Amino acid sequence: MFAVIKTGGKQYKVAENDVIIVEKLVAEAGSTVALDKVLMLGEAGQAPKIASADLDKATVFAEVLEQGRGEKIIIFKKKRRQNYRRKAGHRQDQTVLRITGISATGTKPKAAAPKKAAAPKKEAVADDAAKAETKKAAPKKAAAKTEDKPKAAAKPKAKAAAKDKATKE
């Protein structure tokens, strides 16, 4: 099933699990948004529904993945032979959405089964501890190397001093 929705002055053709970037919506990351301005509903092999009576209750549900900003757009104005140049930039606020469901009746889709998040957290803590141990071990190796270098550097100087003494005598 697909739908054509309107948000932020633009129209988007969406299907379930699509990820779209729209103009900024007031919602936090992880929250669910209902987009009720549905312009068309359709299914494969059937005629699309475009009558207002069919679309009054239709709603598209989406999960907010992130709030961000678009790429910078440079605005450059120039009037030749007038020494007039103006440069400005603009970054548009954007919201990234993942479409979770399309409903012709306006009912929310069933929630997905909860994911097991406790086990990965324990593994992540163990990985962080292992990384911390390796980071602590690294400076000790570097300290050992620095001790070796002065001893090696001292021997040639002593030999050179002995040769100088021998040549002076």
Beta bridge partners of 40: 4
d(CA 14, CA 6): 11
User: Could you tell me the CA-to-CA distances from 74 to 16, 22, 69, 90 in Å, in that order?
Assistant: 35, 20, 15, 7
Q: pLDDT value at position 54?
A: 83
pLDDT score of 159 more than 50:
yes
The segment with the largest mean pLDDT, out of 18-22, 40-44, 53-57, is 18-22
How many CB atoms neighbour CB 61 within 10 A?
Answer: 20
Which tokens go with 7?
């948000």
pLDDT digit string, tens, across residues 26-51: 999 999 999 999 999 998 888 999 99
Query: What is the H or E stretch that residue 38 is in?
Result: strand 38-42
